[in-house]
Chain A
Amino acid sequence: MLLLSYFAVILPFTAYLKNRPTVIKLGYLPEAVIIRAVSGDQRYLIAESTIVKVLFYYGSLIDKLNDKVIIPPEYQNMFRTLETAVKLDPYNKDPYYFAQAAFTWEVGHAADVNKMLMYGMKYRTWDSELPFYISFNNAYFMKDFRNAAIFMKNAAEISGFPLYTSLAARYFYEAGIDELGIVFLDTMEKGAQDKQIKKIYQLRKQALISVKTLREAMKKFKASYRRMPTDLSELVASGTLKEIPTDPYGGRFYLAKGGMIRSTSKFTLEGGSK
């Protein structure tokens, strides 16, 4: 009799639970210093559970969004909770990954995320992804190519990935600090074992050397004529430069707006083949 009653109740009971309105709140988390003192060696577990809580909270908001219910996320509270998790376990990768995913594109807090990532870099010294994220945020969201180059260089040194090296060199170029890029590429080239990778570094280094030659010639030209050249060919015509260096990617150098030296190859093999 009781069993039958149970089965009679369980289905509507489940349906009620499924359809009841849920109050989606992230809740309050005490300061990290208090949790650290109280939780002892369980703080790593608390950190992970805190991150999972933020993840579930955010996930439930996305679910609601799919059902055309818009609930504004508690972004500030979410970020604060993640910061607490980071202070409890700075080695945990999840908060950095989630912060990078959720707070840069949608919220535009790339600078805050970078601060968190830089804190993580002090602990996760083996992880190339954190400087990679910082570099990307600097370049893409903040247009700070100088810092983008520095952190990408860091990521390349940790991981040894050729892609990171190429990106770092590109950011050095964008920032106008070719010399640092050349030194960096030279070091990476010497450390590379693979011949193909060496070739990539050589190409990139040669491109930066060419750009550096052109930039120096432009400086000389400006010093002599007190104006910028209108075209790169003017550097040769004025005798400042013997010849315009070749782009190792197969493109042709030209003077872009703002005095930037660009190439038709865009320093890519695809660009050079066009």
Chain B
Amino acid sequence: MLIMWTALLSQVAGHNYRVVLSVFEERNIIQGTGCAARIPFCVSLQEDAPMKHMGPLISVTLKWTLRDRALHGLFGATLLLFALIPIMSIFSMRQVQELSITLSLSMISFILLILAVLLGSSSVWRDIERRYTASVLGLPISRATYISAKFIGIAFFIISCAALLGLAACLTIGITRVLYPPLPPVNWLNICIAVIVDSFKYILLGAFSLLFSALSTSFFLPFFGTIAVFLAGNASQEVFEFISGDFGKTMARPILLFLKMLYYLLPNFSAFNLKVQAIYGLPLSGPGLAYTILYFVIYTSLLVIGAQWIFSRRELS
């Protein structure tokens, strides 16, 4: 679905695909031959099938991510912390189970944030630094396809991690229930939906990161820019509600208009926060969920198209 979506995006962005690689050898890319002729099974010529040569690029992005030792360490620490959650939950006086869900979901959010920021910021920048882009883009692949593949790789990795961490969370909550019975029933569906929607949030953040990466020559703009967007996106709804109240009446009109404009421009991450519904088993709003998913698809599409557009016009030495 992700691949189809991004392929569609690429077509919306108006890029033509001149060449298709049927098999893409990672080794050739990493060693940076920069020559399509040295890549075995390099075949050519289809105009409307970006998906076929996007696959190997996505696979390379995923493999690089999986080989990252910092992420191995992060996962190790995360699993250890998950094991501690049932013990830490006893700090709550009246809601042991709710605390275990809070800790699990907060942990998932935190890890996905690190992944989105690091992967989004480093993927394109690292390729440029190590001159992999020279070899990859030396092949008959459009830059838009390259960006799309990067995005799909990151999104797929975030979703996979969310699924894995979600499973660990379910296991942790289950252990808590066994250790401290009797506890009220858990709304597992809400927990699953909260994790899925959370992963959408971090995919959107990853898309922002990719946009900054496509724009910047250094690691700093993507890294700190993404963190700034994350903070602003989390605060935007609160600030909007604050200025929409009595406080807004005391503000100068141009500032108020500027802040309201910012509210509509910045991503609204509060919509993706379904933790309360997951922790306390509160009912989820179907239309609200549908709006959030639509918002995610449209906003992320715009960001990826923007990243493709910028990267296609960027001068790479």
Q: How far is the CA of A52 from the CA of B94 in the complex (A)?
A: 12
A41 touches B275 (CB 8 A): yes
Known: A39-B234, A41-B273. A48 touches B102 (CB 8 A): yes
Of the stretches A93-101, A190-198, A240-248, the one at the interface is A93-101
Q: How far is the CA of A42 from the CA of B234 in the complex (A)?
A: 10
B231 touches A38 (CB 8 A): yes
Q: Which residues of the partner chain A approach B272 to less than 8 Å between Cβ atoms?
A: 41
A45 touches B102 (CB 8 A): yes
B94 touches A48 (CB 8 A): no
A38 touches B109 (CB 8 A): no
Q: Which residues of the partner chain B approach A41 to less than 8 Å between Cβ atoms?
A: 106, 109, 198, 234, 269, 272-273, 275
State which size class the interface on A falls in: 20 to 34
A92 touches B95 (CB 8 A): yes
For residue B289, CB closer than 8 A to chain A, the reply is no
A37 touches B275 (CB 8 A): no
Closest residue of chain A to B269, judged by CB?
A40
A48 touches B109 (CB 8 A): no
Closest residue of chain A to B273, judged by CB?
A41
For residue A91, CB closer than 8 A to chain B, the reply is yes
Closest residue of chain B to A42, judged by CB?
B106
Q: How far is the CA of A32 from the CA of B276 in the complex (A)?
A: 17
Q: Which residues of the partner chain A approach B280 to less than 8 Å between Cβ atoms?
A: 91
The A/B interface has a contact count, at CB < 8 Å, of 65
Q: How far is the CA of A186 from the CA of B293 in the complex (A)?
A: 48
B93 touches A97 (CB 8 A): yes
Q: How far is the CA of A270 from the CA of B106 in the complex (A)?
A: 52
For residue A219, CB closer than 8 A to chain B, the reply is no
Q: Which residues of the partner chain A approach B105 to less than 8 Å between Cβ atoms?
A: 44
Q: Which residues of the partner chain A approach B295 to less than 8 Å between Cβ atoms?
A: none
For residue B103, CB closer than 8 A to chain A, the reply is yes
B93 touches A38 (CB 8 A): no
For residue B183, CB closer than 8 A to chain A, the reply is no
For residue A266, CB closer than 8 A to chain B, the reply is no
Q: How far is the CA of A89 from the CA of B198 in the complex (A)?
A: 18
Q: Give 1 or 0 for each of B154-185: 1 = CB within 8 Å of chain A CB.
A: 00000000000000000000000000000000
Of the stretches B13-21, B28-36, B235-243, the one at the interface is B235-243
Which among B93, B273, B279 is the interface contact of A98 at CB below 8 angstroms?
B93
For residue A55, CB closer than 8 A to chain B, the reply is yes
Q: Give 1 or 0 for each of A32-54: 1 = CB within 8 Å of chain B CB.
A: 01001111111011001000100
Q: Give 1 or 0 for each of A199-217: 1 = CB within 8 Å of chain B CB.
A: 0000000000000000000
**What total of chain B residues lie within 8 Å of the partner, measured CB to CB?**
31
Known: A38-B231, A42-B109, A98-B93. A48 touches B238 (CB 8 A): no
Which among B92, B276, B282 is the interface contact of A48 at CB below 8 angstroms?
B92
Closest residue of chain A to B231, judged by CB?
A38
Within 8 A of A (CB), among B262-285: 269-270, 272-273, 275-276, 279-280, 282
A44 touches B279 (CB 8 A): yes
Return B101 CB to nearest CB of chain A, in Å. Answer: 9
Known: A38-B235, A97-B93. A92 touches B98 (CB 8 A): yes
Q: Give 1 or 0 for each of A98-119: 1 = CB within 8 Å of chain B CB.
A: 1000000000000000000000
B275 touches A94 (CB 8 A): no
Q: How far is the CA of A93 from the CA of B239 in the complex (A)?
A: 27
Q: Give 1 or 0 for each of A1-41: 1 = CB within 8 Å of chain B CB.
A: 00000000000000000000000000000000100111111
Q: Give 1 or 0 for each of B200-233: 1 = CB within 8 Å of chain A CB.
A: 0000000000000000000000000000001101
Q: Which residues of the partner chain B approach A89 to less than 8 Å between Cβ atoms?
A: 276
Q: How far is the CA of A48 from the CA of B105 in the complex (A)?
A: 13
A44 touches B275 (CB 8 A): yes
Which among B93, B95, B233, B234 is the interface contact of A55 at CB below 8 angstroms?
B93
Q: How far is the CA of A45 from the CA of B88 in the complex (A)?
A: 12
Return B292 CB to nearest CB of chain A, in Å. Answer: 13
Closest residue of chain A to B238, judged by CB?
A37
For residue B99, CB closer than 8 A to chain A, the reply is yes
Which among A33, A38, A44, A97 is the interface contact of B242 at CB below 8 angstroms?
A33
For residue B91, CB closer than 8 A to chain A, the reply is yes
B102, B198, B270, B272: most-surrounded residue (chain A CB, <10 A): B102
Chain A to chain B contacts (Cβ below 8 Å), 14 pairs:
A33-B238, A37-B235, A38-B231, A38-B234, A40-B230, A40-B270, A41-B109, A45-B103, A48-B92, A91-B279, A91-B280, A93-B93, A94-B92, A97-B93
Which residues of A are interface residues toward B (Cβ below 8 A)?
33, 36-42, 44-45, 48, 52, 55, 89, 91-94, 97-98
Q: Told that A55-B91, A91-B280, A93-B93 touch, could you supply 10 new A-B pairs with CB distance under 8 A?
A: A33-B238, A37-B235, A40-B230, A40-B270, A40-B273, A41-B106, A41-B234, A41-B273, A91-B282, A98-B93
